[in-house]
A = this chain, B = another copy of it.
Amino acid sequence: MPATIRDVANRAGVSVATVSRLLNGTGRVGPDAAARVQAAIAALGFRPNGMGRSLKSRRSRLIGVMIPSLGNPVFADAVAGIEAEARAAGFTLLFGVSNYDAAEERRAVEALLAYRVDGMILTVAAPATSPALDSLDQAGLPHVLIYNQPAPTRAVPTVTVDNVAAGRAVALHMVALGHRRLGMITGALGGSDRAAARLAGFLDGARASGLTRPCVHEVDFEAPDPDAALTAFASGPDGLPTALFCSNDWLAIATIGALTRRGLSVPGDVSVFGFDGIALGAHLNPPLATVVQPSRAMGGIAARHLIALMSADGGRPAPGSVPGHHLLPFTLRPAGSTGPVCFTRPSPIVAPVETTGNAAKQAPAASPVADLDLSTRTS
């Protein structure tokens, strides 16, 4: 049995109140008493019981964290950011995983709620309809979303990037490189509102560039099978796209693997663009072209924001420190896995490429309707 505050008090010849005061720095304690208490604490190896403390003070100093999966490093990065910030503020993390599933989200949130976390940081499948968020709202527990799209129907602080704009930027970038047949491989849209937003932006970008609607294929998050998607693409009317946008890096890497196994070169035959900017991507060969979002910072900002929210909780919504959403900047990393369109394969050129001034700078866009140039590229 661990020592209790009472044991310490007895040994030091003071009351438990004195020990408590010393422990929490609340109220003055005489130097001699303090010394005796310190000695007793050390001698007994006393460690204040967080449970008792939380029960009485009604603050657990626990932050709940729930993410869809630990398999995708992007979430691990965010958790690392949360952990660092939370620890610095004296909070400990209670952790749950949802596997991209709404029912599991609810279960996980209930579990964290049971321990009376002071607040929660999470990513849900779909904020608008999330039962987990319903629980949180009903409990009146401060919480902030990360990665999710800000839900118009629900006023919950969200730290994220503009996924729609990012998706659009990817499409424009591809077009600027001369690609006309774009495609997207996305994780299950029902399990990820951000994937849906990226898709929406991507389609919009393609449309704005005068392209027909890119083909889209969904794959499972947990056991993605890009090969099936590639087969589906290939057997479609337009054949395999020359540029593929994947809804996350994890998927993009699997896709590159599947392409390579088919004997296709990246970016020679097919360009691949990912999303997230996980650290490993930069080390790949070729380096993974991707939309970089500041995951660790995202976690850190969410934590700071949540902590502010929790302190403000006792009063009115706080002066100006409790805004709505944090839209963090993303950057395009147009690395090796994406390049100018290759004309060695028959590709139905429909209209001249309209390069946007900015993207044109990134890479010398392939001359608009240049025809087959078999000399230099041979796959």
Residues of chain A touching chain B, judged by Cβ–Cβ distance below 8 Å, are 2, 45, 47-52, 54-55, 60, 62, 65, 69-71, 73, 76-77, 79-80, 83-84, 87, 92-97, 110-116, 138-139, 253-254, 256-257, 260, 279-280, 282-286
Contact = CB atoms under 8 A, between A and B. Distances in A.
Contacts of A2: 116, 139
Contact of A51 (B60, B71, B84, B280): B60
Given A71-B77, A76-B76, A83-B97, A47 B283 contact: no
Nearest to A54: B51
Contact of A48 (B76, B114, B254): B114
A353 B79 CA distance: 48
A48 to B, nearest CB: 7
Secondary structure of the A contact surface, majority rule: helix
Given A69-B80, A71-B76, A76-B70, A50 B114 contact: yes
A64 to B, nearest CB: 9
B50 A116 contact: yes
A13 B92 CA distance: 38
Q: Which of A45, A50, A60, A94 has the most CB of B within 10 A?
A: A50
Q: Which of A93, A96, A283, A286 has the most CB of B within 10 A?
A: A283
Q: Which of A51, A52, A55, A282 has the most CB of B within 10 A?
A: A51
Contacts of A60: 51
Nearest to A58: B1
A354 B94 CA distance: 53
Contact of A52 (B55, B139, B279, B286): B55
B92 A111 contact: yes
17 contacts: A2-B116, A45-B138, A47-B110, A47-B113, A49-B55, A50-B115, A51-B55, A51-B60, A70-B83, A71-B77, A73-B76, A79-B95, A93-B94, A94-B95, A260-B285, A283-B284, A285-B286
